[in-house]
Protein backbone atom coordinates (compact mmCIF):
# COMPACT_ATOMS: atom_id res chain seq x y z
CA UNK A 1 0.00 0.00 0.00
CA UNK A 2 1.44 3.36 -1.01
CA UNK A 3 1.61 6.14 1.57
CA UNK A 4 -0.18 9.32 0.47
CA UNK A 5 0.10 13.08 0.77
CA UNK A 6 -2.22 15.96 0.19
CA UNK A 7 -1.37 19.28 -1.44
CA UNK A 8 -3.12 22.57 -1.77
CA UNK A 9 -4.21 22.57 -5.39
CA UNK A 10 -3.85 26.32 -5.77
CA UNK A 11 -0.26 26.28 -4.53
CA UNK A 12 0.57 23.30 -6.71
CA UNK A 13 -0.92 24.97 -9.76
CA UNK A 14 1.16 28.09 -9.19
CA UNK A 15 4.39 26.11 -9.07
CA UNK A 16 3.53 23.63 -11.81
CA UNK A 17 2.63 26.37 -14.24
CA UNK A 18 6.16 27.73 -13.91
CA UNK A 19 8.09 24.45 -13.99
CA UNK A 20 8.04 22.63 -17.29
CA UNK A 21 9.63 19.51 -18.70
CA UNK A 22 11.14 19.09 -22.15
CA UNK A 23 10.88 15.46 -23.21
CA UNK A 24 14.37 14.17 -23.77
CA UNK A 25 16.04 17.36 -22.56
CA UNK A 26 17.07 16.10 -19.15
CA UNK A 27 15.30 19.00 -17.43
CA UNK A 28 13.27 18.49 -14.29
CA UNK A 29 9.57 17.81 -14.74
CA UNK A 30 6.77 19.85 -13.23
CA UNK A 31 5.86 17.19 -10.71
CA UNK A 32 9.24 17.59 -9.01
CA UNK A 33 7.86 20.81 -7.55
CA UNK A 34 5.20 18.97 -5.53
CA UNK A 35 7.49 18.47 -2.53
CA UNK A 36 7.77 22.26 -2.18
CA UNK A 37 4.04 22.64 -1.53
CA UNK A 38 3.03 19.35 0.05
CA UNK A 39 2.94 17.69 3.41
CA UNK A 40 3.72 14.11 4.32
CA UNK A 41 6.77 11.89 4.02
CA UNK A 42 8.05 9.11 1.85
CA UNK A 43 8.08 8.48 -1.87
CA UNK A 44 4.70 7.83 -3.44
CA UNK A 45 3.22 7.85 -6.94
CA UNK A 46 -0.20 9.24 -6.02
CA UNK A 47 -0.66 12.80 -4.84
CA UNK A 48 -4.18 13.24 -3.48
CA UNK A 49 -5.21 16.86 -3.94
CA UNK A 50 -6.69 18.66 -0.97
CA UNK A 51 -8.65 20.89 -3.35
CA UNK A 52 -9.57 18.93 -6.52
CA UNK A 53 -9.39 20.56 -9.93
CA UNK A 54 -12.45 21.26 -12.02
CA UNK A 55 -12.35 19.38 -15.32
CA UNK A 56 -11.01 21.65 -18.11
CA UNK A 57 -13.60 23.36 -20.28
CA UNK A 58 -12.05 22.10 -23.52
CA UNK A 59 -13.59 21.58 -26.94
CA UNK A 60 -11.00 20.19 -29.35
CA UNK A 61 -10.73 17.81 -32.31
CA UNK A 62 -10.38 14.06 -31.88
CA UNK A 63 -8.40 11.65 -34.04
CA UNK A 64 -11.40 11.17 -36.33
CA UNK A 65 -11.56 14.89 -37.06
CA UNK A 66 -14.71 15.35 -34.99
CA UNK A 67 -15.43 17.93 -32.29
CA UNK A 68 -14.82 16.58 -28.81
CA UNK A 69 -16.24 18.34 -25.74
CA UNK A 70 -14.11 17.02 -22.89
CA UNK A 71 -16.61 17.69 -20.12
CA UNK A 72 -19.55 16.30 -22.04
CA UNK A 73 -17.80 13.17 -23.33
CA UNK A 74 -16.25 12.17 -20.01
CA UNK A 75 -19.03 13.20 -17.64
CA UNK A 76 -19.55 10.62 -14.91
CA UNK A 77 -16.65 8.48 -16.14
CA UNK A 78 -13.28 7.76 -14.51
CA UNK A 79 -10.86 9.79 -16.61
CA UNK A 80 -7.10 10.20 -16.87
CA UNK A 81 -5.84 13.31 -18.67
CA UNK A 82 -2.28 13.87 -19.92
CA UNK A 83 -0.75 16.67 -21.99
CA UNK A 84 2.16 15.67 -24.22
CA UNK A 85 3.23 15.18 -27.84
CA UNK A 86 3.89 12.27 -30.15
CA UNK A 87 7.47 13.25 -31.07
CA UNK A 88 8.48 13.15 -27.42
CA UNK A 89 11.29 10.55 -27.25
CA UNK A 90 10.79 9.30 -23.72
CA UNK A 91 8.35 10.57 -21.08
CA UNK A 92 5.16 10.73 -23.17
CA UNK A 93 5.30 7.27 -24.78
CA UNK A 94 6.41 5.67 -21.50
CA UNK A 95 3.55 7.29 -19.61
CA UNK A 96 0.97 6.14 -22.15
CA UNK A 97 2.49 2.66 -22.28
CA UNK A 98 2.39 2.33 -18.49
CA UNK A 99 -1.28 3.33 -18.40
CA UNK A 100 -2.09 0.97 -21.27
CA UNK A 101 -0.46 -1.95 -19.47
CA UNK A 102 -2.32 -1.18 -16.25
CA UNK A 103 -5.62 -0.80 -18.07
CA UNK A 104 -5.31 -4.28 -19.58
CA UNK A 105 -5.11 -5.71 -16.05
CA UNK A 106 -8.59 -4.35 -15.26
CA UNK A 107 -11.76 -6.43 -15.70
CA UNK A 108 -13.31 -5.87 -19.12
CA UNK A 109 -16.20 -3.83 -17.73
CA UNK A 110 -13.80 -1.48 -15.93
CA UNK A 111 -11.66 -1.14 -19.06
CA UNK A 112 -14.73 0.08 -20.90
CA UNK A 113 -15.48 2.65 -18.20
CA UNK A 114 -11.98 4.14 -18.03
CA UNK A 115 -11.34 7.15 -20.26
CA UNK A 116 -7.73 8.01 -21.11
CA UNK A 117 -7.36 11.37 -22.84
CA UNK A 118 -4.08 12.50 -24.42
CA UNK A 119 -4.03 16.20 -25.40
CA UNK A 120 -1.21 17.22 -27.71
CA UNK A 121 1.05 20.14 -26.83
CA UNK A 122 2.36 20.17 -30.40
CA UNK A 123 -0.80 20.61 -32.51
CA UNK A 124 1.03 21.83 -35.60
CA UNK A 125 2.68 18.43 -36.09
CA UNK A 126 0.15 16.25 -34.24
CA UNK A 127 -2.66 16.14 -36.77
CA UNK A 128 -5.73 14.00 -36.01
CA UNK A 129 -4.37 11.29 -38.33
CA UNK A 130 -0.83 11.20 -36.94
CA UNK A 131 -2.06 11.41 -33.34
CA UNK A 132 -4.52 8.59 -33.98
CA UNK A 133 -1.83 6.36 -35.46
CA UNK A 134 0.51 6.99 -32.50
CA UNK A 135 -2.14 6.31 -29.88
CA UNK A 136 -3.42 3.20 -31.64
CA UNK A 137 -0.05 1.58 -30.97
CA UNK A 138 -0.57 2.26 -27.26
CA UNK A 139 -4.28 1.46 -26.94
CA UNK A 140 -6.88 1.87 -29.70
CA UNK A 141 -9.43 3.13 -27.16
CA UNK A 142 -7.31 6.03 -25.93
CA UNK A 143 -8.69 9.42 -26.96
CA UNK A 144 -6.35 11.85 -28.69
CA UNK A 145 -7.16 15.55 -28.95
CA UNK A 146 -5.65 18.38 -30.95
CA UNK A 147 -6.60 21.96 -31.80
CA UNK A 148 -5.15 25.46 -31.64
CA UNK A 149 -2.31 25.92 -29.17
CA UNK A 150 -3.80 28.82 -27.13
CA UNK A 151 -6.92 26.76 -26.39
CA UNK A 152 -4.83 23.74 -25.36
CA UNK A 153 -2.56 25.87 -23.19
CA UNK A 154 -5.53 27.50 -21.45
CA UNK A 155 -7.09 24.09 -20.79
CA UNK A 156 -3.87 22.79 -19.27
CA UNK A 157 -3.61 25.80 -16.99
CA UNK A 158 -7.07 25.04 -15.60
CA UNK A 159 -5.61 21.95 -13.95
CA UNK A 160 -2.25 23.43 -12.97
CA UNK A 161 -0.25 22.11 -15.90
CA UNK A 162 2.13 24.49 -17.63
CA UNK A 163 2.97 24.08 -21.31
CA UNK A 164 4.76 26.33 -23.77
CA UNK A 165 4.72 26.52 -27.56
CA UNK A 166 7.03 24.05 -29.36
CA UNK A 167 10.48 25.49 -30.01
CA UNK A 168 13.06 24.53 -32.62
CA UNK A 169 16.50 23.84 -31.19
CA UNK A 170 19.83 24.64 -32.86
CA UNK A 171 20.15 21.05 -34.07
CA UNK A 172 16.78 21.29 -35.82
CA UNK A 173 14.80 19.22 -33.35
CA UNK A 174 11.49 20.59 -32.09
CA UNK A 175 10.93 20.41 -28.35
CA UNK A 176 7.61 20.89 -26.58
CA UNK A 177 7.87 21.99 -22.97
CA UNK A 178 5.08 20.60 -20.83
CA UNK A 179 4.18 19.46 -17.35
CA UNK A 180 4.44 15.67 -17.07
CA UNK A 181 1.52 15.04 -14.73
CA UNK A 182 -1.39 12.69 -15.23
CA UNK A 183 -4.56 13.94 -13.51
CA UNK A 184 -7.24 11.44 -12.48
CA UNK A 185 -10.86 12.62 -12.44
CA UNK A 186 -13.49 10.96 -10.30
CA UNK A 187 -16.61 9.45 -11.92
CA UNK A 188 -18.55 10.56 -8.85
CA UNK A 189 -17.68 14.27 -8.86
CA UNK A 190 -15.93 14.86 -12.21
CA UNK A 191 -13.19 16.56 -10.20
CA UNK A 192 -9.46 15.98 -10.68
CA UNK A 193 -8.51 14.61 -7.28
CA UNK A 194 -5.34 12.55 -7.83
CA UNK A 195 -2.09 13.48 -9.57
CA UNK A 196 0.67 11.20 -10.89
CA UNK A 197 4.18 12.27 -11.90
CA UNK A 198 6.40 10.94 -14.67
CA UNK A 199 8.09 8.43 -12.36
CA UNK A 200 4.84 6.51 -11.84
CA UNK A 201 5.30 2.92 -13.00
CA UNK A 202 2.95 0.51 -14.72
CA UNK A 203 2.76 -1.38 -11.43
CA UNK A 204 1.70 1.79 -9.61
CA UNK A 205 -1.10 2.40 -12.10
CA UNK A 206 -2.10 -1.26 -11.96
CA UNK A 207 -2.55 -1.00 -8.21
CA UNK A 208 -4.46 2.28 -8.30
CA UNK A 209 -6.68 2.03 -11.38
CA UNK A 210 -9.33 -0.26 -9.80
CA UNK A 211 -9.86 2.36 -7.09
CA UNK A 212 -9.85 5.27 -9.52
CA UNK A 213 -12.49 3.54 -11.65
CA UNK A 214 -14.72 3.45 -8.55
CA UNK A 215 -13.96 7.06 -7.65
CA UNK A 216 -12.07 6.04 -4.53
CA UNK A 217 -8.87 7.52 -3.11
CA UNK A 218 -5.92 5.26 -4.00
Mark 122-145 as b/e (b = at least 16 C-beta within 10 Å): bbeebbbebbbebbeebbeebbbb
Alpha carbon 59 to its chain centroid, in Å, reads 17
Backbone CA torsion sign across 142, 212, 208, 8: positive
- CB of 101 closer than 8 Å to CB of 138: no
Convert the pLDDT of each residue in 151-207 to its tens digit. 999 999 999 999 988 777 777 676 767 788 999 999 999 999 999 998 999 999 999
Convert the pLDDT of each residue in 103-158 to its tens digit. 999 999 999 999 999 999 999 999 999 999 999 999 999 999 999 999 999 999 99
Under the banding of pLDDT at 50, 70 and 90, the label for residue 73 is very high
**Torsion angle defined by CA atoms of residues 150, 153, 158 and 162, in that order, rounded to the nearest 10 degrees:** -150
**Torsion angle defined by CA atoms of residues 118, 124, 130 and 136, in that order, rounded to the nearest 10 degrees:** 0
Convert the pLDDT of each residue in 22-69 to its tens digit. 454 333 333 333 322 233 334 578 999 999 999 999 999 999 999 999
- The single-letter DSSP state of residue 30 is G
Amino acid sequence: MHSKKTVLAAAFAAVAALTLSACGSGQDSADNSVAEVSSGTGSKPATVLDQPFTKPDLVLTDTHGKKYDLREKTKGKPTLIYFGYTNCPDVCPLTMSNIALAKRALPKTDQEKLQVVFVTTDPERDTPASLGSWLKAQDPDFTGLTGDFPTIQAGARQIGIGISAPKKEKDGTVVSMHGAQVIAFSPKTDKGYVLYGEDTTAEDYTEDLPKLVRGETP
